[in-house]
Structures are given as structure tokens and as C-alpha cells.
């Protein structure tokens, strides 16, 4: 058992990871080297996707996907309000407007009904959304087939925010979406410090994202427009030449971090196995605390197990969430709220006004993420459950 503080999430780094980074540091290229393509190929294989484009954050991964489908000023995109800021911010980065959707009260997910309601609200505002960003909150996968049906009927492209769902077969293959976006932030399924990956089945989207992450540069002679600058008199491409047909960013992930990502990816199955074991253990340990404290429902559902969240009836508990979190902290147990609905953030409230999204309000009022990561021991989980029981007076 870890005697110390148990955070709600943390990375799992071993000597092989450290050796992989040390080897990369001794290499010739710290960035834009061969490890980038190796990490991309391994990530595509791990997620069953045709193409993977790495970037330097999950936020960049979302922004690249949004740009690659052509989202821009004058457009609108639907984002469930129960998510991290980045999902909505990636839409604003393109200049498009966000239409916040509600989520279901028990799982915090975008559903076919809440997507339809958001489309209808957008229409009233005179907006025709071009895209929607389902978020696989906590790792629990949205019903993508149902969302795709609604999206298809309204000409909406789906981009999955899969930052919580790496490690689940098929997430990343993009059967119902144009792209899926992942984060490799330390609390996520694999860690590179900062980092992101976008997967897609569409080679054109992959090509655009690769150019946009690197200043909008292209290096393939067949794509050059300025023939006078690009080629020698005999038609040979000039060796220094690159071209910028459209505006881009520097969203590159360095080789150092790709080396760490490759090493981490090799352990993804092991990490996920432990996360599933821990989830089952928490389910058993916390069962006696229902109905005041109960896991977010997940029976028979596809789940990437990024976070383990409980729903707490704070009125019945007789404590506020702040008081419970402080009490848990005093017992050495970290917890976090995922998330404050994004439409309540001052920036978005000033831009879009007050919205009534009752499912998100209900989920937000009850949710709490508790310590959950592969190196958490069974005894640690028991300590967490005992602390909850003590706070409940059970």
C-alpha cells in the first residue's frame, strides 16, 4: 500500500521508458526525425486506424482535426458541455462558433437526443452546425452509431474527442467519424508529458493535418505551385525548397516524446488490464455505500477506463462536495471534478449567454473522480473505499 498521497490520476513510468528517452537524446535528431513516423505507425496499429498524426497536445490534435475538415469562421460546431475546455476551445481556434449540447444525467455523454436538441437550438439561432464532437467521458464510449445517424441526417461531420478512451479496440478506427483525437497528458492512458494524436481513415485529412501541424508546409514536389522557385532549369526540384500553400502552426511532437510514447504504447494492454481490474475492485468495495455513493453506471458498456468516477448524493451525505474533497484530502486521498460544464465558463457565458442544460447540471452536481491509475494497489483502493465509508458514517 502507498502510505503517501493518492492523486486521482498519474503516469506510470518505468526504466524502459527512461532508457527509451535516453536513447532518443543520444540520437541525431531530437525533433522531426524517424521516431515520429514510428510512433504514428505503432499508434495506428494499436487503434486499428489507417492513419495517425501526432501533435504536441490533445488540444492540438482536436484543432488539427477541426481545421482538416474545413471548420472556420461562419461555421458552427456542437460540443457537449460536459468536457474539458479544450474540446470547445479547439472549435473557437478555427473561428467557428460553439453550440453547447446537453448530456445524459447518469453518464455525462452526448446522446442522439441531446445532439438532436442542440441541432434544433442551433437552427433557432440561425446556425447550421457542420461538425459535432462527441466526448467519450471517463472512457465510456458514446453510442457512435446512434450519433452518426442523427449527424448524417443533418450533414454533420463527427470528430471524436477520444482523449479518455485510448486502449479500447476500435476507438480510433473512425467507423462513424472523420477523426478521433487522443491526448498523452500524464493522467491519460499513456503519457508523453504533453502530446496528442489524431487518427483518421481518410488519407486526405491525414495529409492536411500533417501539413497544418508544421506551419502549413509541404515538401512534395508534385504539390508545389511556384514552379519558378521550386525547380531548377532542368526540372529538378530545388533541394532547399518547401512551400506554404495555407497557414499552419507548429504543433510537432519531438522525437524525444515519440520515443517515450512508443515505449508507453508497448505497455498499453497491461495498463488497461490493471485499470479494468481496479474498476471491478472499486465496484465491489463501493457497493455497500449505495445509493448515496455509487459508481457512474457502466454495465456492459464499451469503456476505456481513463477515470473512475462516482456519483454522490451530497444532500443525503450531509456534506458539500468541497467539504468531502477536503476531508478526503486530509486522509491522503485526491479527487477531482470532471468537469464544470464548459458553457458556465465566463468566456463562453459572455459569448453565448445562459443555457439550460439540465442533464449536464445533474451530472456535474454529483460527479467525483477518485484515485485510479495502473500502479494503484488493491490496498490503496481499499483505503479509498474505507475513507468514503468513514465520511458516510457507514
Ligand X SMILES: Cc1ncc(COP(=O)(O)O)c(C=O)c1O
Instruction: Catalogue the active-site residues.
Output: 188
Is 59 a binding residue for ligand X by CB under 6 A? The answer is yes
Beta carbons of 187 and 11 less than 8 angstroms apart: yes
Q: How far is the CB of 288 from ligand X (least distance, A)?
A: 31
Question: Based on CB atoms, which residue is closest to ligand X, 199 or 388?
Answer: 199
Distance CA 274, CA 199 (A): 25
Give, rounded to a whole angstrom, the gap between the first and last alpha carbons of the chain: 23
Supply φ then ψ for residue 80, to 5 degrees: -65, 140
Q: How far is the CB of 394 from ligand X (least distance, A)?
A: 32
Supply φ then ψ for residue 238, to 5 degrees: -70, 135
Question: Based on CB atoms, which residue is closest to ligand X, 108 or 371?
Answer: 108
Stretch of residues binding ligand X (CB under 6 A), selected from 79-87, 117-125, 280-288, 319-327: 79-87
Is 63 a binding residue for ligand X by CB under 6 A? The answer is no
How far lies 53's CA from each of 40, 144, 177, 184, 215, in Å? 6, 22, 16, 13, 15
Question: Based on CB atoms, which residue is closest to ligand X, 58 or 261?
Answer: 58
Distance CA 91, CA 73 (A): 10
Beta carbons of 388 and 331 less than 8 angstroms apart: no
Stretch of residues binding ligand X (CB under 6 A), selected from 57-65, 284-292, 355-363, 366-374: 57-65
Is 167 a binding residue for ligand X by CB under 6 A? The answer is no
Q: How far is the CB of 93 from ligand X (least distance, A)?
A: 12
Is 71 a binding residue for ligand X by CB under 6 A? The answer is no
Binding characters for ligand X, 104-143, by CB under 6 A (x = yes): -------------------------------x--------
Is 161 a binding residue for ligand X by CB under 6 A? The answer is yes
Stretch of residues binding ligand X (CB under 6 A), selected from 19-27, 84-92, 97-105, 219-227: 84-92
Q: How far is the CB of 187 from ligand X (least distance, A)?
A: 7
Distance CA 309, CA 297 (A): 9
Is 183 a binding residue for ligand X by CB under 6 A? The answer is yes
Stretch of residues binding ligand X (CB under 6 A), selected from 123-131, 147-155, 160-168, 360-368: 160-168
Distance CA 361, CA 102 (A): 9
Residue that the C-alpha cell 468537469 belongs to: 339
Beta carbons of 127 and 101 less than 8 angstroms apart: no
Query: Is the bond preceding 339 in cis, omega lying within 30 degrees of 0?
Result: yes
Question: Based on CB atoms, which residue is closest to ligand X, 163 or 166?
Answer: 163
* Cβ-based neighbours of 322, under 8 Å, separated by 6 or more: none
Distance CA 363, CA 283 (A): 19
Stretch of residues binding ligand X (CB under 6 A), selected from 45-53, 80-88, 168-176, 203-211: 80-88
Question: Based on CB atoms, which residue is closest to ligand X, 167 or 196?
Answer: 196
Is 47 a binding residue for ligand X by CB under 6 A? The answer is no
C-alpha cell at position 122: 442551433
Residue that the C-alpha cell 477506463 belongs to: 305
Q: How far is the CB of 192 from ligand X (least distance, A)?
A: 9
Return the closest-CA partner of residue 230 out of 246, 217, 248: 217
Question: Based on CB atoms, which residue is closest to ligand X, 308 or 388?
Answer: 308
* Cβ-based neighbours of 375, under 8 Å, separated by 6 or more: 10, 12
87, 94, 114, 272: residue in contact with ligand X (rule CB under 6 A): 87
Is 196 a binding residue for ligand X by CB under 6 A? The answer is yes
Is 369 a binding residue for ligand X by CB under 6 A? The answer is no
Summarize as ranges the residues that interact with ligand X (CB under 6 A): 57-59, 83-84, 86-87, 135, 161, 163-164, 183, 185, 196
Amino acid at each position: 500500500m502507498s502510505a503517501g498521497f493518492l492523486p486521482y490520476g498519474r503516469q506510470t513510468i518505468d526504466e524502459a521508458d527512461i532508457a527509451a528517452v535516453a536513447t532518443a537524446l543520444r540520437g541525431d535528431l531530437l525533433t522531426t526525425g524517424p521516431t515520429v513516423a514510428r510512433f504514428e505507425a505503432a499508434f495506428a496499429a494499436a487503434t486499428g486506424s489507417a492513419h495517425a498524426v501526432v501533435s504536441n497536445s490533445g488540444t492540438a490534435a482536436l484543432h488539427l482535426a477541426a481545421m482538416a475538415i474545413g471548420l472556420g469562421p461562419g461555421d458552427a460546431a456542437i460540443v457537449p458541455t460536459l468536457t474539458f475546455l479544450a474540446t470547445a476551445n479547439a472549435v473557437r481556434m478555427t473561428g467557428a462558433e460553439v453550440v453547447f449540447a446537453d448530456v445524459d444525467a447518469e453518464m455525462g455523454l452526448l446522446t442522439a437526443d441531446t445532439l438532436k436538441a442542440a441541432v434544433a437550438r442551433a437552427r433557432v439561432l440561425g446556425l447550421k452546425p457542420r461538425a459535432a464532437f462527441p466526448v467519450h467521458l471517463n472512457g465510456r464510449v458514446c453510442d457512435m452509431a446512434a450519433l452518426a445517424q442523427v449527424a448524417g441526417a443533418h450533414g454533420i461531420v463527427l470528430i471524436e474527442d477520444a482523449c479518455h478512451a485510448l486502449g479500447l479496440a476500435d476507438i480510433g478506427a473512425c467507423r462513424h467519424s472523420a477523426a478521433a483525437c487522443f491526448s498523452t497528458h500524464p493522467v491519460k492512458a499513456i503519457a508523453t508529458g504533453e502530446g496528442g494524436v489524431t487518427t483518421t481513415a481518410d488519407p486526405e485529412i491525414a495529409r492536411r493535418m500533417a501539413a497544418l501541424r508544421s506551419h502549413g508546409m509541404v515538401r512534395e514536389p508534385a504539390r508545389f505551385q511556384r514552379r519558378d522557385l521550386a525547380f531548377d532549369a532542368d526540372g529538378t526540384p530545388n533541394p532547399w525548397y518547401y512551400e506554404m500553400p495555407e497557414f499552419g502552426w507548429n504543433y510537432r511532437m519531438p522525437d524525444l516524446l515519440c520515443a517515450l510514447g512508443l515505449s508507453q504504447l508497448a505497455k498499453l494492454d497491461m495498463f488497461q488490464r490493471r485499470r479494468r481490474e481496479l474498476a471491478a475492485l472499486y465496484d465491489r468495495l463501493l457497493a455497500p455505500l449505495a445509493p448515496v455513493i455509487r459508481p457512474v453506471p457502466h454495465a456492459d458498456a464499451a469503456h476505456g477506463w481513463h477515470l473512475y468516477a462516482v456519483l454522490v448524493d451530497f444532500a443525503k451525505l450531509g456534506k458539500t462536495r468541497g467539504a468531502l474533497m477536503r476531508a478526503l484530502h486530509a486522509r491522503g486521498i485526491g479527487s477531482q471534478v470532471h468537469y464544470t460544464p464548459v458553457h458556465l465558463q465566463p468566456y463562453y457565458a459572455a459569448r453565448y449567454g445562459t443555457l439550460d442544460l439540465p442533464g449536464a447540471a445533474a451530472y456535474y452536481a454529483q460527479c467525483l473522480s477518485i484515485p485510479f491509475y495502473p500502479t494503484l494497489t488493491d490496498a490503496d483502493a481499499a483505503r479509498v473505499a474505507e475513507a468514503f465509508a468513514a465520511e458516510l458514517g457507514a
